[in-house]
Chains A and B, each alone.
Chain A
Amino acid sequence: MTNSDPVLLKVRDLHFSRGSRKIFDGVDIDIERGKVTAIMGPSGTGKTTLLRLIGGQLHPARGSIEIDGQRVNKLGHSALYTLRKRMGMLFQNGALLTDMNVFDNVAFPLREHTDLTEDMIRDLVLMKLHAVGLRGARDLMPSELSGGMARRVALARAIALDPMIMLYDEPFTGQDPISMGVLVRLIRELNDALGLTSIIVSHDIAEASSIADHIYLLSNGKVVAHGSADDLAESESEWAQQFLKGLPDGPVPFHYQAEDYLSDLLNGVNGR
């Protein structure tokens, strides 16, 4: 065990492809213990894929992912499942089990992995639900929850086993300003109060930068820039500037690759 190592998660020379499309082409990432790290990039850069690689649901073509001294991609089935008990993941849509109510959803990992009595499970579930402000919603079914509430319940479920690392997949997408504010605060507070290490995958720059200690910008399968929010704001990378300022044109062109505009128009229907 390398518990004293300040870096909890190390990604080294990560290569991954889907068919002929390269998603990661030599990515190195260090996630420090106790910090909130945001991994940002435009849609389709493989941010969610990165979380799945970290969780061991996908296997890299080359390179390694090491969590707390353990190589995720070399672990056997049972070792991987043991490691996952120490990881929490918040899915983009919450991924709550639709045949159970809120209480049972949060109790699910506790019932699966512990021999606690129902009394203790009840206390723990209510504590987790209270932390996300939904103790009163314990009897609702997932279909009765708003998108923001579903994500908070999923968050309570993800922290049920007191993980060492939390993975957030696009936690702010599709949220109204109030739920967005709630989630931003919750992620930071839970990280500090429970001593977690958090990885947020997102393209919501303002929200992610407001709580992240460290930010990685990904594009075309590589890390384009990384550092604190202030470092990145002063970054000289044109790509980073385009992404952070949301400029429509730049290194990522506005126009999808196409032939010359004028000749395309003059070609008529036959030219397709």
Chain B
Amino acid sequence: MLQAIQHLGRSGLDFFQRTGRAHILFSQILIGIYSLLPRLGLLVQQVYSVGVLSLLIIVVSGLFVGMVLGLQGYNTLVDFGAEESLGVVVALSLVRELGPVVTALLFAGRAGSALTAEIGLMKATEQLSAMEMMAVDPVRRVLSPRFLAGFISMPLLAAIFSAVGVLGGYFVGVGLLGVDEGAYWSQMQASVDYHEDIMNGVIKSIAFGVVVTWIAVFEGYDAVPTSEGVSRATTRTVVHSSLAVLGLDFILTALMFGES
């Protein structure tokens, strides 16, 4: 019993210490972004490795998710004779929810884990330490550009995911199942609101971008510098950021659409 209480106390202290370290690091990263301004090359390089290299998985997933939405939506709507509204169903599902959320989950698996592993290995092989001794702050040089790249890439990737998904829904709905092409596009145009739907989706994906990249760089920077430590940190990145995205999605959805 006493041991269980001790264990609980230790875990609690660990949790608060880690949370504290994560927040301190977050503020250091934000300060570090300022010093990035004259060195945009570093940022471009990271946007490439974090964002551009994630494009393939985002595009392919977006296409399939859109196609499945087309099929499922059609089967439900056709019972009510409302298959012309397929465009609205597909677009709203993607823009409001699936675009930001699925992109964030895929991003955590593809780019987040890579970020953690890269930073963790740099720590384990003393590269971060060597930078410190060369009077180069690793937070500014390594972490800030990666964080900013994630922050920029996520909304763009989510937008691409949604756009490809809408096309996927179009291929299945209009191409295979015979929904009227004009109805598909015009109903979508009439029902999807720029502020209410698109901007809220963008805000969501910005929030997810911050959270996922923050978790990824923190886990890498805070990893125990051994191969086991890095592998644990990588797993934690995927698990924690996926849970954070889903939890945050509920809160944001409740705030944005709760009263309407």
Contact = CB atoms under 8 A, between A and B. Distances in A.
B249 interface: no
B77 interface: no
A93 B126 contact: yes
B55 to A, nearest CB: 21
Interface in A39-66: 55, 57
A91 interface: yes
B127 interface: yes
A95 B135 contact: no
Contacts of A195: none
A109 B127 contact: no
A157 B134 CA distance: 9
B132 A84 contact: yes
B133 A55 contact: yes
Contacts of A87: 133
Contacts of A157: 134
Contacts of A84: 132-135
B230 to A, nearest CB: 14
Contacts of B136: 108-109, 112-113
A44 B135 CA distance: 27
Contact of B134 (A57, A82, A98, A108): A108
A100 to B, nearest CB: 10
A113 B135 contact: yes
Contacts, number: 50
Contacts of B130: 89, 91, 95-97, 154
Contacts of B137: 81
Interface residues of A, number: 23
A106 B127 CA distance: 14
A138 interface: no
B135 A91 contact: no
B126 A109 contact: no
A95 B129 contact: yes
B132 A91 contact: no
B125 interface: yes
A112 B137 CA distance: 10
A12 interface: no
A90 B132 CA distance: 13
Interface in B210-248: none
Given A93-B126, A96-B127, 10 more contacts: A91-B129, A91-B130, A95-B126, A96-B130, A97-B130, A98-B122, A98-B127, A109-B134, A112-B135, A112-B141
13 contacts: A55-B133, A57-B132, A57-B133, A82-B135, A85-B135, A91-B126, A91-B129, A92-B126, A93-B125, A96-B127, A97-B131, A108-B134, A109-B134
List 10 A-B pairs, minimum CB-CB distance, nearest first: A95-B130, A84-B135, A95-B126, A89-B133, A81-B135, A85-B135, A109-B134, A112-B136, A91-B126, A55-B133
